[in-house]
């Protein structure tokens, strides 16, 4: 079992819809969780970080964390064509960076 | 990418030649990392540094070495490049601590080994 798993996609949603991206992780001691967006040919950029169970909202983005189920998700409301990118889930198993593990990414396509 | 630069941005080299990639940061972050990104594998950690002259291996360190003589610079060296090292290389920085462990990425270096 891979440490961090994501559906590779592509996930296609129409413009204005809600895009739901999912991530599961295997290490129960993981403490912090991140969503990065990566446009083709560009570097990953941070969208959200989440550390506690529940929801965290930032604009059109909502991250959801359920440590008991080892599951973290990202919802994008009112999806725009500019949201089309690959979304990387990352998990840090402690407070120090050497235990960062990235998922393979989910490619999202928002159709006009 | 603010505060993190990588050089060169693109490089084509031949098998067996040495290659050095440079990461430079202006954020004074303690930790620096080198990742490679390949289709089907995602981002994989090569080496990281937790301070000047303090480095350690990551998941895919074979064939790579690193050095950090100043806080702001982290060098990745391929002593004898192989075709399997063709990849996109990203540098990242962070200042780990309570709830501040976010990693920020540089623009990347696309390396092709012929």
Taking 90 as the threshold, does the pLDDT of residue B1 lie above it?
A: no
- Kindly report, residue by residue over A91-111, the tens digit of the pLDDT: 987 766 667 899 999 999 999
Give the per-residue pLDDT at A59. 96
Confidence at A30, pLDDT banded by 50, 70, 90: confident
Residue in A100, A106, A107 to test binding to B, most B beta-carbons within 10 Å: A100
DSSP letters, A7-25, are ----EEEETTSPEEEEEEE
3 state DSSP class of A98: helix
Residues 33-62 of B with CB under 8 A from A: 33, 40-45, 48, 50, 56, 58
Give the per-residue pLDDT at B55. 94
Confidence at B89, pLDDT banded by 50, 70, 90: very high
Mean pLDDT in residue range B7-23: 97
Q: Identify the H or E element spanning A85.
A: strand A85-92
- Kindly report, residue by residue over A54-94, the tens digit of the pLDDT: 999 999 999 999 999 999 999 999 999 999 999 999 998 77
Reading the block at residue A74, the tokens are 């990202």
Instruction: Please report the sign of the dihedral spanned by the C-alpha atoms of residue B90, residue A103, residue A3, residue A60.
Output: positive
**Inter-chain Cβ pairs, chain A and chain B, closer than 8 A:** 58
Give the per-residue pLDDT at A109. 96
B40 to A32: CB separation less than 8 angstroms, yes or no: no
A97 to B33: CB separation less than 8 angstroms, yes or no: yes
Mean pLDDT in residue range A28-53: 93
Give the per-residue pLDDT at A28. 83
Confidence at A40, pLDDT banded by 50, 70, 90: very high
CB B101 within 8 A of CB A90: no
Mean pLDDT in residue range B56-80: 95
Reading the block at residue B70, the tokens are 């100043």
B46: nearest CA partner in chain A:
A98
Greater confidence, B37 or A27?
Answer: B37
Give the per-residue pLDDT at A102. 93
Contacts 24+ apart (CB under 8 A), B50-58: B50/A96, B50/A98, B56/A98, B58/A98, B58/B33, B58/B34
Taking 90 as the threshold, does the pLDDT of residue A27 lie above it?
A: no
């Amino acid at each position: 079992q891979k440490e961090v798993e994501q559906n590779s996609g592509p996930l296609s949603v129409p413009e204005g819809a809600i895009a739901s991206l999912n991530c599961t992780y295997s290490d129960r001691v993981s403490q912090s969780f991140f969503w990065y967006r990566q446009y083709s040919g560009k570097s990953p950029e941070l969208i959200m970080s989440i550390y506690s169970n529940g929801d965290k909202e930032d604009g059109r983005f909502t991250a959801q964390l359920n440590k008991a189920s080892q599951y973290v998700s990202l919802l994008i409301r009112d999806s725009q064509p500019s949201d089309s990118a690959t979304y990387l889930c990352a998990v840090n198993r402690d407070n120090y960076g050497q235990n960062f593990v990235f998922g393979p990414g989910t490619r999202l396509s928002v159709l006009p | 990418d603010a505060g993190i630069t990588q050089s060169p941005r693109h490089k084509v080299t031949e098998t067996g030649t040495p290659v050095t990639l440079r990461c430079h940061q202006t954020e004074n972050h303690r930790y620096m990392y080198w990742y490679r990104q390949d289709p089907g594998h995602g981002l994989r950690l090569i080496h990281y540094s937790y301070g000047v002259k303090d480095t350690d291996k990551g998941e895919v360190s074979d064939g790579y070495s690193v050095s950090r003589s100043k806080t702001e610079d982290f060098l990745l060296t391929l002593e004898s490049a192989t075709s399997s090292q063709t990849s996109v290389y990203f540098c990242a920085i962070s200042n780990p601590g309570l709830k501040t462990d976010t990693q920020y990425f540089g623009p990347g270096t696309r390396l092709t080994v012929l």
